[in-house]
């Protein structure tokens, strides 16, 4: 799938997240390939992901490829099994533009290694995996957001 560019193409492909039936028609839950600790409380583990039906399998595949690259034991020992989630209907930080999380087409992975608007320490292998899978990485945004991965561009 070619990533949509800009708000108009995002809405054309993924729908209007403000419509009454958006979540019913577009969002789904699936099992993650391994549990991920929540960044703000790593004792709480996510076993599922709630995301847009057009990208959820691609998101799951990203986590599977990362696991296959590092190995689950290494990931747990080194804190590479932590995330900030996917769907969250909200504005982008400091703006009145809707975040791509509002469509369920973005996820935040390893927030402490890729903090918003600060230099990223995200392992290059993870960035390479995302790029190889066609995921747009916040690592390269004007306002760097190394933890952010999304299925669109130019927004």
pLDDT in tens, 34-57: 999 999 998 899 999 999 999 999
The per-residue DSSP string of 57-123 comes to: HHHHHHHHHHHHHH-HHHHHHTT-SEEEES----BPTTSSSBPGGGGT-EEEE-TTTS-BTS-----
Check: CATH 3.30.1330 for 6-150? no
Question: What pLDDT sits at residue 125?
Answer: 96
Q: Across all residues in the chain, what is the average pLDDT? A: 95
pLDDT of 142 reads 83
pLDDT at 119: 87
Q: Could you give the angle at the alpha carbon of 24 between the alpha carbons of 18 and 26, nearest 5°?
A: 75
* Distance between CA atoms of residues 4 and 155, nearest Å: 9
pLDDT in the model for residue 22: 97
Segment 74-79 shows an average pLDDT of 96
């Amino acid at each position: 799938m070619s990533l949509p560019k800009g708000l108009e193409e995002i809405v054309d492909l993924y729908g209007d997240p403000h419509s009454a039936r958006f979540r019913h028609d577009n969002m789904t839950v699936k099992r993650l390939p391994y549990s991920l600790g929540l960044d703000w409380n790593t004792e709480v583990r996510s076993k599922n992901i709630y995301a847009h039906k057009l990208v959820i399998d691609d998101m799951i595949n990203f986590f599977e490829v990362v696991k296959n690259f590092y190995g689950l034991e290494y990931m747990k020992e080194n804190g590479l099994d932590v995330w900030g989630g996917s769907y969250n209907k909200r504005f982008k930080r400091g703006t009145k533009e809707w975040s791509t999380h509002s469509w369920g087409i973005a996820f935040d992975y390893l927030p402490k290694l890729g903090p918003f608007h600060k230099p990223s320490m995200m392992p290059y292998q993870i960035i390479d995996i995302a790029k190889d899978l066609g995921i747009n990485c916040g690592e390269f945004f004007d306002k760097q957001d190394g933890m952010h991965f999304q299925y669109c561009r130019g927004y």
